[in-house]
């Protein structure tokens, strides 16, 4: 029974490997000789197209709302939180009490 998964994996690898050797299908079958011989489309300036669409090219950009105040408030709140997380978990008085209660003579 232990050979069945290995056989299945080998067969799958072989099948995938052989599909990689096949020629890719021709997806652009709509291109004909006439389409390939056709001239390149003419390029036109962008300004007349934008004016025709009702959007002149040289319009000033729309100003985004001022988001600096909320962002700066969030930055200061995150910095305060980071400072509180950097603080020691045990205050100095508790740490001194813990160290005083440990008998280190057995460690020597």
Computed on alpha carbons and rounded to an integer, the radius of gyration of the chain in Å comes to 37
C-beta separation of 88 from 77 below 8 A: no
CB 76 within 8 A of CB 68: no
Domain boundary assignment for the chain: 68-98
> Considering the chain, what is the average pLDDT of its residues?
82
Token pair for residue 74? Answer: 């969030």
What are 47-73's pLDDT values in tens digits?
788 788 877 666 676 777 788 889 999
pLDDT score of 17: 84
């Amino acid at each position: 029974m232990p050979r069945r998964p290995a056989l299945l994996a080998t067969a799958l690898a072989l099948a995938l490997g052989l599909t990689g050797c096949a020629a890719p299908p021709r997806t652009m079958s709509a291109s004909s000789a006439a389409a390939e011989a056709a001239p390149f489309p003419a390029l036109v300036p962008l300004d007349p197209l934008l004016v025709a669409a009702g959007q002149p090219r040289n319009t000033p950009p729309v100003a985004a709302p001022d988001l600096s105040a909320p962002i700066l408030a969030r930055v200061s709140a995150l910095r305060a939180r980071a400072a509180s997380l950097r603080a020691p978990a045990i205050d100095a008085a508790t740490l001194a009490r813990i160290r005083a209660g440990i008998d280190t003579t057995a460690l020597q």
